[in-house]
Each structure stands twice: as C-alpha cells, then as structure tokens.
Amino acid sequence: MATNETYQRDEKSGNVWLSAKQAGNETLQDYGLVPTVLDSELAVGEAMLAELKATAASKTGDINIALLGGRGAQQLHRLLGEKAKSDELDSLLARLNVFTQDALAPMKMANCLSFVRDFERILGEAFFAKIKSFTPMQTDTDDLEAGLTDYLSKLDALGGLDIFFIGHGPEAEQASHLAYIKPHSGAQPHHVAGLIPISSSILAHHISKFKAGGTAVDSQDEKECRAAQFILTLGPAAILSARKVVQSVVDADTAPAKVQTYARVLNTTLSSDKHALLAQLDANPGLWLRLHPNKHSFVLPNVGAGS
C-alpha cells in the first residue's frame, strides 16, 4: 500500500515506515566509530559549528540540516543564536534549510515540550528570521501520516540532508536509539521516516532531557506530552543518505546509562551476514551510525570513551 506516488508504506506490529518507491537493495558496510573526546559542552558546540562552516565552504547553494533536540546540541544552538544577532554568519544562515528530525504526537506545536519550542527558545528570533526555511514535523494535524509525507516531499525536493546532527538515546538492555528509531520497531535501511507507537521509557527520557536542559515545564503541557501516542522520526535511510552525520553525546552526567549504551555501539562486532546484521540494527538502532562513511562523534570524557 502506498501513501502517494512517491513513498511506499510498510506496516508491522503497529509501526508504520515510509520509503522511496525506487529504494533497492542497499549495501551495508561497517565503517566503525572513532569518538572525538572534548573537554566541555562548549567545545562540542564549537566543533559542531565548525562542521557546519566546513560544509558551507565546501559547496554552493542551499545547506540542508536536521537539528538535534534536547541537551546534545544546546551549545551549538546558543552559538548560532548569539551569532545571528550580528552579521557574522548572515551569508551562511541565508542558505540554511532547517528540518526537525523527530517529534511526539499528537501534540500542539506550541507545547513547551516540543522540540520546535525548545529550538525557538535557544536559537532565538534573529536566527529564524535569517535562515532560508524551517520545516518541522507536524504534530497537530488529524492525519499525521500525510503530514509526514508532506515533510519528506519538501526534504526530497531540496536534495536531502547535508548534515544530520544526531544524538544517542539510551534504551533497555543497553540498546540505544538514533533520532527516535526505537529498538524492535522494524526499521530497515530503505525506511526514510516512520510513525511508531510511543513507550513510557521514551516519554520519560524526553521529558527528563528537556528539564535537564533548562526548560520550564508547564504542568498542562507535560500532561499533554505524556498522553502522546506516536513518535514521528526520520529513519535509517535519512541517516545513511545524509552527506555528513555529526553526533554529540554530552549528558552522561544526567543520563548515566549512556556510558554503557555508547560503549556497546563502539564495541559491538557487526555480523557480515546481512540478515543477522539487520537483526542487530533492529535490536540496537544506535548501531546505524557505524554504517555511515562520513561522520563525527563528539563526546565528553564522562561518556567513558577513549580519546
């Protein structure tokens, strides 16, 4: 069953995944993962900004990025927000097409626990006034799937992502998620985005990372957030097709499980058998990062990764 002429719809156990109709048999290669250990969150933010500037210098025309929500990119966002108040980055900002990468739904866009509000709070009005476009996932529509398709159509029309800014979220059994690709949600290499049932662990992680990041949480907004039923998320195909992936892991102090889950991404031996490898990726979606050839993983010493 297809949602429209462009995207194919796959559904299994309540998880809905969308893929490009022309998607074929993807070659999966393990490129490993070598973290870059930096001394502070500010240093991580500066390194992320340097990657954005490097991309801007390496090409002409638009720059398409997926913003990372939560604490992981807050220093990057503060730097961008401050620089947007001057003309220092005006030429770069004018080329930026900015996308969100995940969301909880249904939930009003103005909810203080939405990534959109958090981005607006930290990046500031000047940033959004100067960028070329901002495309969030729609969480307040009656047809979430159609809204996600519209979002994907715009991303595809602009040529896909130049940079996927991504985090690392802990899950049970020392697994992890990227964007909000949940373990055992059936994500495949050709899936560009998904609509999957929510879990109590995701809700708790989402709310706690907002509070840890300094969001003043309204009780009614938290109630609405806890009633969300679905996760909208970009999928493995969006990660693997991005021209560069920039990961940041800075909050092992407030999410200590990340010490073990990040280590598992670093140290897991990936199977050379494709079917076994796909099972590993489904059980631990954090491993998808290993399959990207052009990536940086910026972490703090408290993650425990070797330098």
Give the helix, strand, coil percentages of the chain, each rounded to 5.
40, 20, 40
Give the Cα separation of 233 and 277 in Å (integer): 22
In angstroms, rounded to a whole number, what is the distance separating the alpha carbons of residues 203 and 216?
17
Do 183 and 177 meet the contact criterion of CB atoms below 8 Å apart?
yes
- Nearest CA-CA partner of 114 in 126, 102, 124, 123: 102
Distance CA 39, CA 48 (A): 14
C-alpha distance across the termini of the chain, in Å:
48
Cis peptide before 106 (omega within 30 of 0): yes
**288: its two tokens:** 């998808």
The CA distance from 159 to 21, in Å, is 16
| pTM for this model (two decimals) | 0.94
Q: What's the longest Cα–Cα distance across the chain?
A: 52
Fold observed for domain 7-20+32-303: Rossmann fold (3.40.50)
8 Å CB contact between 258 and 35: no
Q: Tens-of-pLDDT digits for all 307 residues of the chain?
A: 344 678 999 998 899 999 987 766 778 999 999 999 999 999 999 999 999 999 999 999 999 999 998 889 999 999 999 999 999 999 999 999 999 999 999 999 999 999 899 899 999 999 999 999 999 999 999 999 999 999 999 999 999 999 999 999 999 999 999 999 999 999 999 999 999 998 777 788 788 878 877 788 899 999 999 999 999 999 999 999 999 999 999 999 988 999 999 999 999 999 999 999 999 999 999 999 999 999 999 999 999 875 4
User: Which sequence spans correspond to the domains of the chain?
Assistant: 7-20+32-303
Which residue matches tokens 């609405």? Answer: 224
